Amino acid sequence: MEESKSSESSGFNLIRWERLALMFEGLSLLKRSSEASYDWSDCRIYSIIISDNSPMISLVGLIPQTPGILPKWLLFISLVSILNSFQTYTNLSLTKKVYSNTNEVTPLSARTFGTWTLISSVIRFYAAYYLTNPQIYQITLASYIIAFLHFGSEWVWFKTTKLDSGLYGPLIVSTLTITWMISQYDYYVKI
């Protein structure tokens, strides 16, 4: 009884806990152990820790386990873009802010833009967790290049946007991420 009390007070090192890791590859049941330690490094998307008394969700598993800041950046940008996508279905204000030099922003064009952004978000979400896969790395880089070319052409060629607060975000994020991904390609695909 005394051993059980000391183990319960030591955070994640609890006796008789089961860990379920839900991953895109499928559901993996990790071992049930009477020892008081677990390996958290293989957690991809999230973990659910189940004790005899109550379930607890571990946020540790949400963070990509690939070393470096780039995977965390891709996850952050993906989540922000998902929120932006949902916004385009309900409100035109942010889309009009980006395409501020035209009256052509319609609910249909906003939803199309939101769908395109959502598809890009899914690609970037996958990349956050599987950045060492060369194909996923390359398609993610391509998604940022396409975004840069789109926003750049809307500004320079089509003149539907102007260089102001609505365009700063997409240009800065795409330029920064393209540069970062090109400079770190060899590091991530050779892990």
Residues 113/119/123/126 CA torsion (nearest 10 deg)? 130
Structure tokens at 129: 């967790």
Residue % of the chain over a pLDDT of 70: 68
Edge-to-edge strand list for the sheet holding 26-29: 26-29, 18-23, 46-50, 55-58
What does pTM read for this prediction?
0.69
> How far, CA to CA in Å, does 20 sit from each of 6, 33, 161?
24, 13, 48
Q: 18-54, pLDDT tens digit by residue?
A: 333 333 333 333 333 334 444 444 444 444 444 444 4
